[in-house]
C-alpha cells in the first residue's frame, strides 16, 4: 500500500501529466489550422470566421504571434468571463446546469473538507492505535489520519457520528437549494422560450387500428371528438427505417465517390481504380468514379421505389402520431390526462423536441414495451454482475496451454515467439479494455431496445445503466475483493446486517486506491478532455481526404455535445467517493475538490468554445443527479454503520439508524416538491404563456407554423431526392419525363445552396434524417435557406 | 399435532357449531320482532313494511306460521335469486364486486384443488418416507399427504414444481380476467350513473394564502384564469371541528333527555332523577328532564356563538375548496393535471362523493402530510413487530410475584383467592384479547392521522395496515415460533437466502394448525356473521330504551355496511393460505373452498337484506385485492424455493426463480393495463357522458344543481339549529326577537317532517354531520323531503 510519500509522488506525476496536456492544448489551440477543432461552437453560431483567411501562407497553419505563447493559461479567465445567463443563451440550459453540478460539488465538499480536516483528522491522529504497529506492515500514513486509527469502543466515535449528521444535513441543504434553483431555472427557461413546436404538440402512441379507417382518420376523429376546442392538426409517423438504411448506404457511396473525385482532381493524370469485392481488397478492378456513379444511380432507383412503397402502403403508417393543439394549455391537458377507457391505447406524452425524436422506436406496441423493459433489466443485471465471465473466458484462452488444447491446429502459430508474447502479454488486458471501450455503446443499444422515443431519454437511461455498472464494479468491486459475481454470491449468503460490516471494514483501507483513481481517471481524464486529441486527429484526416468545400469542413468539425451517458455517471461516482470518505478518511476530500474545480474550468471552456448540444432537454437530468447523490448519502450511512459496528461502537447504532430514515424522507419531500417541474407542465404556466402570445401576436397562423414541424424526415428527403433525380436526368440524359411532383417542387433555393463552391459537375447528396447528431432545421419564412448538418458517422446507429 | 382423525372431529364440531348458528338464525329471522335486524336494507329502500302491522298481538312478536319453520335454509336459494345487475342496482357496485372476490376464490381454488388432490396427493403418498417413522413420534396422517412425505433429492419434486407453474398461470389467468371484468364493470357503472356532483367537482387543497385576498377570492381568481371555459363555481371548506364537537355533545344530551322523557311517559307517576356528578354516579340529585333541557338550552347558546365565529372569522376558512366545472371533461382535466408552478400548491384530486368526505382532514398542509405519513408508517412498523412488548408487560403483571414487587401496597388485595385466580387465569389472555379487539379502531385512527380525506380511502388504508399485521403475526407468526420481534431480529441476522428456507421448512408442519384456523375463524366466523347477535341485542336494547317514533326505529336499525377494513384482510389471508398450501399440503384446499362458498352465500344474503353501504367507491378497492393475491403468489414461490432447497432439490432453483420474475411482470402489466381505470377518469368517457347529457337535457341549470352539493355540514345544520331555536323560543317563552335569518328560512317542510308521530312537545334535534355513517342527502327539487339518518354511535369518532 502506498504511503503518504507515495501518494505525493503519484500526485506530482499526475499534476505534471495534466500540465503537459494543458501545455499541449495551449500550443495547439492557438494554431490557426486547429481553430475549427477548438472553437467549433463559434463557427456554428456564426461568431467566428477562420483566422486562416488573414495573413501569409505559413500563418495559415502555424501561429506566428509569439506573444500568445507566453500566456498559455489564459483560456481559464476567458472561460470564466461568461455569466450563467449568457451560457444559457449560448449553449442552452442543459449545459449550464451541467456546469452547476461541478459547482454543487465544490459547495458541498468545500466546507465539508475544511471541517473534516480540522476536526476529524486531529481526532483520528490523537488516538494513535496504529502507531504501535510496525510501519511497513499493513498500515500507512494515510491510515493514521483515518478512522482506522481510533481504538475500538472509543468515545471519539461520537465525533464521527456527529460529523456524519452534520455532513448529511449540509449536503441535504445544498441539494435542496440546488434543486429549487434548477427547477425555477427550468421553468424560467421554458417560459422565456419563444414559440416552439413541442410546446403545442403531444406524442400519441398506440393508436388503435379501426377497420375501414386509416390511422390518420382515427386520430383526427378521436381528437376532434375529445378535444374539440383545442385540437389543431396532426402528423402521421411513417415507418421509414428501410428507406433510411438505403439512404445511409447512398451516403457511404457518395463519400467514396467524393473521395475518388478529389483524388482525380489532385492527380488528374491517373483515374482512380477500385476493386469490386469485399472491402475493396479483391475482385474485378473498375474505374472508381464511374463505378460509384453507377452504384448511386441504381440506389436512387431503389430509393424511389421504396419511397413510393412507404407513401402508398397503409402498413407503413405507424400507430403513432404527433398531435398539435391550438394552445399550450390544450397540449398540457392532453399530455397529462388519460384519453381512453383502455389505458394502453391513445397514450399521450409531451412530444420531444423535433431534433430529439428517436423515430425508430415510435412504432413499438405496449405489450412489447413491457417485455422489452423486463428483458433489458435482466440483461443489465447480468451485465453488471456477470460481465467478467465472458472476459475471463477470453483471458483463459490467453493461457497458451488452454488455447492449444482447445484448438490444437493453432499450435504451430502459437509457438512462434512473437505471437506467444503478444498473446500472453496483451490479450488478457485487451479483452477487458475492448469491453470497457464498447460498454457505453452497448448500454446505449440496450436503452434503444427498451423503446424510449427521445434521444435525451435514451442518454439518461444509458447513463443510469452505466452508473449501476460503476457502482458495483468500480466502487464495490474495488472495496471487496473478487468479481462482482462472487460478491453477489457472498451477499446472498450473508445476513443483511453483515453486508455493511464486510464492506465498511474495508473502506478505510482502500482510501489510497481511490486517491490514485481520482488522480488518474479524474485529473488526467479532464486534462485529456480539453486536449481533444481524437477529434483533432479525425478532423485533420477528414480534411486531407474528404473536404472539398467550406460546408464539408463544417461537417468535419462537428463537435457533438457533452457525452452525458459517460460523464454524469463518473461525476456521480466522485460524489459517492467524497460522501463516503468524508467521515472515514477526510484526506481524500482535497483531491476531489481539485477534480471538481479543474473539471469545472475545463467544461466551462469546452461548453463555451466546443460543444454544440444536439438537443435541449431543459435540465431534465437533474432529478437523477439529485437522487443519486441521495443514494450516495444512504450508502455512506450504511457503511459507517457497518464500520462502527466492527469497531464495537454498537451503542451508536440507534443514532445512525435515524439518518437513513431522515434522508429518505428528505428525498421523498424533494420528489414531491420539485420533480413535477421536470415531468409535467403546470397549466398556470401554459395559460400565462398562451395569454402573452395572444397579446403580442394576435394573428399568427399557428396551423401553418406547426404543419410540418414534426414532419417525418422521409418527406423532407423526398423533396431532395426528387430534385436530385430531375437534375441528374436533365443534365445527363435530357429525358423529358420528369416525375409528377417536379413542377410543384417548392424550394429551388435549397438545391442551389447545396452546390455553392462546388463547380465540378457532381451532385453532393446531403439527405439527413432528423434524428442524426447535428440536425438543425430552422423554421422560417419560405424564402429562407435551410441548414442541414451532416451526422457524424459514429452516431449512425442512432437512426 | 393433530392426526387426520382429530381434524375430522374438529371439522365435525365446527360444522355442528356453524349449523347451530344457522338454525338460530333461521329461527330468529322469521320472528316479526327481529324483522328490522335481519332485513333493514329493505326498510331503507322502502321495499318492506313491518310484518307487525298485520295479525294478532302475539303474532307481532313471534312467528306463528309453523310452515316457515320447516324450511329453515330457504334463505340460501333466496339469496341466489338476485342477478348481479340487480345487486348493483340494489346495493351498489362495491358490494357486488365484494361478492365477486369470493367467486374468484372459488374459481381459482376449485380447479387447483381438483388437480392438486388428483396429482400431488398420490405423488406424495407413493413415496412414503414418513411411513418408516414411528406414527406417534412427529408426523401425522396429514403430513403423509403433504410434500414432507417425498424423500430428498427425489425426481418427484418436478411434479410439485410443474404444479406450482400451472397454479401460478391459472391464478394469473383468473386474476387477469377478473381485473378486466371489474374494470369494465366500474367504467360501465360510472357511465350509467345519472348526474352526480362528484363527476363535476374537484377537491383543491393547499390553496396559497395571498395577502389581501380571502381563500375564496384566490380560488375564484385562479380557476377563472386557468380554466376560463370550464370553471363554474366553488365551495369553501370551513373548519367546523369544534362546532361538530358541540353538536355531538348536544346529541348525547338529547338522547338522555329522550330517554328520561320516555321513562316519564311510561311511568307518569314518578319524574326521573339523575345526579350531576361523574357518570351520574354521585353529586346533587336533580330532575332529569329539567336538567337536560337546561343543559341543551345552554349548549344551543354556545352553538350559536360558535357558528357566528366560524362564519365570521376568516381563519376558519380552510385552504381547501371544492371546485365545480361546467362539464365532466373540465373536471377530469383539472383533476389529472398539475395546476401551479409549485407542485405543493393547488393540489387537485377528484372530489369524493359528498357522503364519503372526511371533512376533518381537509385542512392539513402538505409538509405536515409528509411528516404524518412518515410517522405513521414507523408506528405501523412498530405496531406490527413490537406489539407484543406492551402486552407481554401487562402479562408479566399477571405474574403475581412480579405484581407484588411493583406495587407492594396491593398485596392484601392480590392475596385474596378470588382476585388471585382472576388475575392468574384471565388477565394474560385479556390483555391480548382487548388489544386485538381495539386493533381495527387503532388502525383506523392511524389512517385518519395520515390525513386522507375520504372515508373509502381511510378504510382501504386501515385494511392495508390490518393485512400487514395479519401477514406478520398470524401467517409468519404461526409458522415461525417466537414473537414477531424475535423473528425480525432473526431475519436481520440471517442471509436473505436462509429466510425462505427457515419458513419453508416449517410450512408443511403447520398445515393442521391452519386447517383448524380456517374452521374456527372462517366457518364459525361466517356463521356468526349471519346471526348478527350484537346488532340484534343492541337493536332490542335501543328499542326498549330510546325508540319513540317510527323514525327512531329506523335509526336504531341502521345496519352499517360491510366492514371492509376487517373483512378484506382476512379474505386476503385465506387466499394466501390457499396459494401457499396448494402445492405443499393440498388437503387444506377443500377447507378453503368450503369457506369461500359458505361466505359467498352468507354475504350475498347480508348484502341483499342487511347492509346499507354508506358510500360508493365503485370498486376502488380492487387493485389492492389484485396486488395482494399477487403478493401471495410471490410468497408461495419463495417459500417453495426455500422448502425445496432444504429437500436438496437445488437443481430446481433456476426453474423456480423464473416464476417470481414472470409473476412480477404480470403484475406490472396488469397495473399499467387496468389500474388507471381506478385512479383516473378518461377524457373519452367524460366527453361522451357530457354529450349525452347535453342531448338529453340541454337546459339544465348545473350551477344551481352544484351550488350546495359540497356545502359544509355546518351550513346545513345552521338552518336546522336556527329553526330549532326559533321553535323553542316560540313555544316556551314567546320572545318576539327571532333571529334575522328566520323569515328567509327556506324549508319549513323539513321541520314538519321531523315531528311526524311525535305528539309530545319535545323537539327532536337531529343535526347530522355528513361524514357520519349513514348520511344520505338526496338532492331534489325544493319541495322534496330531505332524509337524514342518524350516525351510529360507534362511528362517532369519524368526524
SS3 B778: coil
Length of chain B: 799
A371 neighbourhood in chain B, CB within 8 Å:
665
Q: At B179, is the pLDDT very low, low, confident or very high (cuts 50, 70, 90)?
A: very high
pLDDT one-digit tens code per residue, A187-206: 888 888 777 888 889 998 88
The pLDDT of B171-187, averaged and rounded, is 92
The pLDDT of A607-636, averaged and rounded, is 89
Higher pLDDT, B642 or A753: B642
Residue A523 CA: distances (Å) to CA of A58, A599, B654: 35, 8, 45
| Torsion angle (degrees, nearest 10) of CA A340, A346, A347, A352 | -140
Distance (Å) from the C-alpha of residue A165 to the closest C-alpha of chain B?
19
Contact B229 A226 (CB under 8 A): no
Contact B343 A669 (CB under 8 A): no
Instruction: Answer yes or no: is pLDDT of B99 > 70.
Output: yes
Instruction: Answer yes or no: is pLDDT of B141 > 70.
Output: no
Cα–Cα distance, B430 to B435 (Å, whole number) = 8
Grid cell 492527380 is found at: A267
Q: At B790, is the pLDDT very low, low, confident or very high (cuts 50, 70, 90)?
A: very low
Distance (Å) from the C-alpha of residue A646 to the closest C-alpha of chain B?
15
**B69 CB burial (10 A radius; 0-12, 13-18, 19+):** exposed
Q: Which residues contact A432 (CB under 8 A, 6 or more apart)?
A: A391, A395
Higher pLDDT, B412 or A577: A577
Q: Which residue of A has its CA nearest to B342?
A: A673
Check if the beta carbon of residue B461 is closer than 8 Å to that of residue B450.
Answer: yes
Q: What is the 3-state secondary structure (H, E, C) of B678-736?
A: HHCCCHHHHHHHHHHHHHHCCCCCHHHHHHCCCCCHHHHHHHHHHHHHHHHHHHHHCCC
pLDDT one-digit tens code per residue, B447-483: 999 888 888 899 999 999 999 998 888 888 777 765 5
A218 and chain B in contact, CB less than 8 A? no
Check if the beta carbon of residue A724 is closer than 8 Å to that of residue A300.
Answer: yes
pLDDT one-digit tens code per residue, B583-614: 888 888 999 999 999 899 889 988 888 888 88
The pLDDT of residue B758: 35
Give the lowest-confidence range in A44-53, A313-322, A771-780. A771-780
Give the lowest-confidence range in A263-277, A692-706, A754-768, B456-470. A754-768
Contact B661 A333 (CB under 8 A): no
State the sign of the Cα–Cα–Cα–Cα dihedral B538, B544, B549, B550: positive
Instruction: Answer yes or no: is pLDDT of A106 > 60.
Output: yes
Instruction: Answer yes or no: is pLDDT of B748 > 50.
Output: no
Instruction: Answer yes or no: is pLDDT of A358 > 60.
Output: yes
Q: At A288, is the pLDDT very low, low, confident or very high (cuts 50, 70, 90)?
A: confident
The pLDDT of A764-775, averaged and rounded, is 36
**B positions 671-730 inside 8 Å of A (CB):** 672-677, 680-685, 687
How many percent of chain A have pLDDT more than 90?
13
Instruction: Answer yes or no: is pLDDT of A100 > 60.
Output: yes
Q: Which residues contact A424 (CB under 8 A, 6 or more apart)?
A: A398, A400
Contact B495 A497 (CB under 8 A): no
Contact B226 A683 (CB under 8 A): yes
Q: Considering CB atoms only, which of A222, A343, A676 is closest to B676? A: A343
Higher pLDDT, B366 or B711: B711
Contact B332 A337 (CB under 8 A): yes
Q: At A465, is the pLDDT very low, low, confident or very high (cuts 50, 70, 90)?
A: very high
The pLDDT of residue A536: 80
Q: Which residues contact A720 (CB under 8 A, 6 or more apart)?
A: A750, A751, A765, A766, A767
CB-based burial, A157-189: b 16+ in 10 Å, e otherwise: bebbbebbbbbbebbbebbbebbeebbebbbeb
Q: At B632, is the pLDDT very low, low, confident or very high (cuts 50, 70, 90)?
A: very high
Q: Considering CB atoms only, which of B370, B669, B684 is closest to A340? A: B684
**B positions 328-347 inside 8 Å of A (CB):** 329, 332-333, 336-344, 346
The pLDDT of residue A775: 34
Best interface-test mutation with B: which of A181, A185, A337, A379 has the largest number of B CBs within 10 A? A337
Distance (Å) from the C-alpha of residue A162 to the closest C-alpha of chain B?
23
Q: Considering CB atoms only, which of B222, B344, B492 is closest to A672? A: B344
Higher pLDDT, A77 or B753: A77
The pLDDT of A233-250, averaged and rounded, is 81
Strand ranges, E, within B13-106: none
Q: Which residues contact A177 (CB under 8 A, 6 or more apart)?
A: none
The pLDDT of residue B722: 46
Other CB atoms within a 10 A radius of the CB of residue B469 amount to 22
Q: Considering CB atoms only, which of B367, B494, B687 is closest to A225? A: B687
Contact A687 B661 (CB under 8 A): no
The pLDDT of residue B21: 82
Q: At A137, is the pLDDT very low, low, confident or very high (cuts 50, 70, 90)?
A: very low
Check if the beta carbon of residue B224 is closer than 8 Å to that of residue B308.
Answer: no
Contact B492 A493 (CB under 8 A): no
B326 neighbourhood in chain A, CB within 8 Å:
none
| Torsion angle (degrees, nearest 10) of CA A603, A606, A609, A614 | -100
A690 neighbourhood in chain B, CB within 8 Å:
none
Q: Considering CB atoms only, which of A225, A344, A682 is closest to B340? A: A682
Cα–Cα distance, B547 to B539 (Å, whole number) = 10
B374 neighbourhood in chain A, CB within 8 Å:
661, 665, 668
pLDDT one-digit tens code per residue, A372-419: 888 999 899 888 888 777 777 766 655 666 566 666 777 777 677 777
Q: At B70, is the pLDDT very low, low, confident or very high (cuts 50, 70, 90)?
A: low
Instruction: Answer yes or no: is pLDDT of B108 > 90.
Output: yes
Best interface-test mutation with B: which of A176, A338, A490 has the largest number of B CBs within 10 A? A338
pLDDT one-digit tens code per residue, A148-167: 777 777 778 888 888 999 99
Residues linked to residue B324 through DSSP beta bridges, in sequence order = B201, B233
The pLDDT of B263-281, averaged and rounded, is 70
The pLDDT of residue B686: 85
Higher pLDDT, A600 or A494: A600
The pLDDT of residue B628: 93
Higher pLDDT, A263 or B568: B568
Instruction: Answer yes or no: is pLDDT of A758 > 50.
Output: no
A338 neighbourhood in chain B, CB within 8 Å:
336, 676, 680-683
Q: At B97, is the pLDDT very low, low, confident or very high (cuts 50, 70, 90)?
A: very high
A498 neighbourhood in chain B, CB within 8 Å:
493, 495
3-state helix, strand and coil shares in percent for chain B, rounded to the nearest 5: 70, 5, 25
CB pairs under 8 A between A and B: 129
Contact A344 B673 (CB under 8 A): yes
Set of cell numbers at residue B189: 357503472
B672 neighbourhood in chain A, CB within 8 Å:
343-344, 366, 370
Number of H helices, E strands in chain A: 37, 6
How many percent of chain B have pLDDT more than 70?
74
Higher pLDDT, B57 or A728: B57
Q: Which residue of B has its CA nearest to A223?
A: B684
Number of H helices, E strands in chain B: 37, 6
Model ipTM over 0.90: no
Q: Which residues contact A335 (CB under 8 A, 6 or more apart)?
A: A202, A348, A349, A350, A680, A681
Q: At A114, is the pLDDT very low, low, confident or very high (cuts 50, 70, 90)?
A: very high
Helix (H) or strand (E) holding B496: none
Contact B344 A682 (CB under 8 A): no
Instruction: Answer yes or no: is pLDDT of B627 > 80.
Output: yes
Give the lowest-confidence range in A351-365, A544-558, A661-675, B2-16. A544-558
Q: Considering CB atoms only, which of B343, B371, B687 is closest to A673? A: B343
CA atoms within 13 A on the CB side of B344: 15
Distance (Å) from the C-alpha of residue B206 to the closest C-alpha of chain A?
13
Instruction: Answer yes or no: is pLDDT of A787 > 60.
Output: no
The pLDDT of B352-371, averaged and rounded, is 80
Contact B341 A682 (CB under 8 A): yes
Set of cell numbers at residue A467: 452508473
Higher pLDDT, B369 or B203: B203
Average pLDDT, chain A: 75
Q: Considering CB atoms only, which of A338, A497, A681 is closest to B493? A: A497
Task: Please name which of B652, B599, B622, B711 lies closest in space to residue B240, comparing C-alpha atoms.
Answer: B711
Cα–Cα distance, A324 to A235 (Å, whole number) = 8
Higher pLDDT, B296 or A168: A168
Q: Which residue of A has its CA nearest to B187?
A: A341
Instruction: Answer yes or no: is pLDDT of A366 > 70.
Output: no
Q: At B740, is the pLDDT very low, low, confident or very high (cuts 50, 70, 90)?
A: very low
Contact A337 B680 (CB under 8 A): yes
Instruction: Answer yes or no: is pLDDT of A658 > 50.
Output: yes
The pLDDT of residue B762: 34
**A positions 344-403 inside 8 Å of B (CB):** 344, 346, 366-367, 370-371, 374, 378
Q: Considering CB atoms only, which of A370, A672, A684 is closest to B668? A: A370
The pLDDT of A92-111, averaged and rounded, is 93
Q: What are phi and psi of B317, to 5 degrees?
A: -85, 120
Check if the beta carbon of residue B592 is closer than 8 Å to that of residue B515.
Answer: no
Kindly report the pTM of this predicted structure.
0.76
DSSP conformational letter for A785: P
Instruction: Answer yes or no: is pLDDT of A782 > 60.
Output: no
Q: Which residue of B has its CA nearest to A373?
A: B665
Helix spans in B507-652 (H): 511-517, 525-531, 533-545, 550-556, 564-584, 589-609, 622-646
Average pLDDT, chain B: 76
Higher pLDDT, A768 or B606: B606
Cα–Cα distance, B84 to B94 (Å, whole number) = 12
Higher pLDDT, B287 or B128: B287
B583 and chain A in contact, CB less than 8 A? no
Contact A338 B676 (CB under 8 A): yes
B496 and chain A in contact, CB less than 8 A? yes
Instruction: Answer yes or no: is pLDDT of A579 > 90.
Output: yes
Amino acid at each position: 500500500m502506498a504511503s503518504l510519500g507515495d501518494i505525493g509522488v503519484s500526485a506530482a506525476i499526475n499534476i505534471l501529466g495534466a500540465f503537459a496536456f494543458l501545455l499541449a492544448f495551449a500550443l495547439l489551440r492557438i494554431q490557426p489550422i486547429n481553430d475549427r477543432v477548438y472553437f467549433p461552437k463559434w463557427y456554428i453560431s456564426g461568431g467566428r470566421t477562420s483566422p486562416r483567411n488573414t495573413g501569409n501562407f505559413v500563418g495559415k497553419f502555424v501561429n506566428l504571434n509569439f506573444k500568445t505563447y507566453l500566456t498559455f493559461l489564459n483560456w481559464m479567465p476567458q472561460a470564466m468571463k461568461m455569466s450563467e445567463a449568457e451560457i444559457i443563451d449560448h449553449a442552452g440550459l442543459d449545459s449550464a446546469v451541467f456546469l452547476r453540478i461541478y459547482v454543487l460539488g465544490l459547495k458541498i465538499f468545500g466546507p465539508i473538507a475544511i471541517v473534516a480536516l480540522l476536526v476529524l483528522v486531529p481526532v483520528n491522529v490523537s488516538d494513535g492505535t496504529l502507531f504501535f504497529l510496525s510501519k511497513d506492515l499493513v498500515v500507512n500514513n494515510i491510515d493514521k489520519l483515518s478512522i482506522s486509527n481510533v481504538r475500538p469502543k472509543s468515545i471519539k466515535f461520537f465525533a464521527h457520528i456527529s460529523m456524519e449528521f452534520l455532513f448529511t444535513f449540509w449536503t441535504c441543504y445544498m441539494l435542496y437549494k440546488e434543486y429549487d434553483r434548477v427547477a425555477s431555472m427550468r421553468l424560467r427557461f421554458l417560459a422565456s422560450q419563444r414559440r416552439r413546436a413541442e410546446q403545442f404538440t403531444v406524442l400519441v402512441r398506440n393508436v388503435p387500428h379501426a377497420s375501414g379507417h386509416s390511422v390518420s382518420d382515427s386520430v383526427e376523429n378521436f381528437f376532434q371528438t375529445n378535444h374539440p376546442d383545442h385540437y389543431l392538426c396532426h402528423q402521421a409517423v411513417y415507418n421509414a427505417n428501410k428507406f433510411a438504411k438505403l439512404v445511409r448506404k447512398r451516403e457511404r457511396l457518395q463519400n467514396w465517390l467524393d473521395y475518388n473525385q478529389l483524388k482525380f482532381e489532385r492527380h488528374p493524370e491517373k483515374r482512380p481504380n477500385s476493386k469490386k469485392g469485399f472491402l475493396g481488397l479483391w475482385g474485378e478492378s473498375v474505374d472508381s468514379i464511374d463505378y460509384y456513379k453507377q452504384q448511386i444511380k441504381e440506389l436512387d432507383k431503389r430509393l424511389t421505389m421504396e419511397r413510393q412503397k412507404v407513401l402508398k402502403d397503409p402498413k407503413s403508417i405507424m400507430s403513432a402520431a404527433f398531435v398539435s393543439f391550438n394552445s399550450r394549455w390544450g397540449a398540457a391537458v392532453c399530455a397529462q390526462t388519460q384519453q381512453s377507457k383502455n389505458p394502453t391505447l391513445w397514450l399521450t406524452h409531451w412530444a420531444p423536441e423535433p431534433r430529439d425524436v428517436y423515430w425508430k422506436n415510435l412504432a413499438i406496441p405496449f405489450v412489447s414495451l413491457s417485455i422489452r423493459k423486463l428483458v433489458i433489466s435482466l440483461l443489465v443485471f447480468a451485465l453488471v454482475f456477470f460481465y467478467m465471465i465472458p472476459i475471463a473466458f477470453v483471458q483463459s484462452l490467453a493461457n497458451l496451454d488452454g488455447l492449444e488444447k482447445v484448438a490444437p491446429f493453432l499450435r504451430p502459430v502459437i509457438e512462434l515467439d512473437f505471437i506467444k508474447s503478444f498473446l500472453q502479454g496483451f490479450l488478457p488486458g485487451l479483452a477487458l479494455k475492448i469491453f470497457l471501450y464498447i460498454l457505453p455503446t452497448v448500454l446505449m443499444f440496450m436503452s434503444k431496445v427498451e423503446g424510449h422515443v427521445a434521444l435525451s431519454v435514451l442518454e439518461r437511461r444509458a447513463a443510469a445503466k452505466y452508473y449501476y455498472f460503476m457502482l458495483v464494479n468500480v466502487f464495490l468491486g474495488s472495496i471487496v475483493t473478487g468479481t462482482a459475481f462472487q460478491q453477489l454470491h457472498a451477499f446472498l449468503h450473508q445476513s443483511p446486517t453483515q453486508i455493511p460490516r464486510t464492506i465498511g471494514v474495508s473502506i478505510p483501507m482502500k482510501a489510497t486506491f481511490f486517491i490514485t483513481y481520482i488522480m488518474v481517471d479524474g485529473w488526467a481524464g479532464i486534462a485529456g478532455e480539453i486536449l481533444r486529441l481524437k477529434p483533432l486527429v479525425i478532423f485533420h484526416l477528414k480534411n486531407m481526404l474528404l473536404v472539398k468545400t467550406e460546408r464539408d469542413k463544417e461537417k468535419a468539425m462537428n463537435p457533438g455535445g457533452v457525452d452525458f451517458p459517460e460523464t454524469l455517471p463518473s461525476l456521480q461516482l466522485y460524489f459517492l467517493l467524497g460522501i463516503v470518505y468524508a467521515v472515514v478518511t477526510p484526506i481524500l476530500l482535497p483531491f476531489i475538490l481539485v477534480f471538481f474545480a479543474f473539471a469545472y474550468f475545463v467544461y466551462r471552456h469546452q461548453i463555451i468554445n466546443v460543444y454544440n448540444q444536439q438537443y435541449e432537454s431543459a435540465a431534465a437530468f437533474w432529478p437523477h443527479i439529485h437522487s443519486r447523490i441521495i443514494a450516495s448519502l444512504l450508502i455512506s450511512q450504511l457503511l459507517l454503520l457497518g464500520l462502527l459496528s466492527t469497531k464495537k461502537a454498537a451503542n451508536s447504532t440507534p443514532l445512525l439508524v435515524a439518518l437513513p430514515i431522515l434522508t429518505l424522507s428528505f428525498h421523498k419531500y424533494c420528489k414531491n416538491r420539485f420533480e413535477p417541474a421536470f415531468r409535467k407542465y403546470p397549466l398556470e404556466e401554459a395559460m400565462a404563456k398562451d395569454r402573452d402570445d395572444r397579446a403580442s401576436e394576435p394573428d399568427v397562423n399557428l396551423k401553418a407554423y406547426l404543419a410540418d414541424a414534426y414532419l417525418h424526415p422521409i418527406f423532407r428527403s423526398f423533396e431532395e431526392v426528387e430534385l436530385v433525380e430531375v437534375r441528374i436526368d436533365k443534365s445527363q440524359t435530357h429525358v423529358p419525363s420528369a416525375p409528377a411532383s417536379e413542377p410543384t417542387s417548392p424550394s429551388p433555393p435549397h438545391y442551389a445552396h447545396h452546390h455553392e463552391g462546388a463547380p465540378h459537375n457532381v451532385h453532393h447528396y446531403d439527405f439527413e434524417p432528423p434524428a442524426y447528431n447535428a440536425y438543425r432545421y430552422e423554421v422560417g419564412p419560405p424564402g429562407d435557406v435551410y441548414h442541414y448538418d451532416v451526422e457524424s458517422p459514429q452516431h449512425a446507429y442512432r437512426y
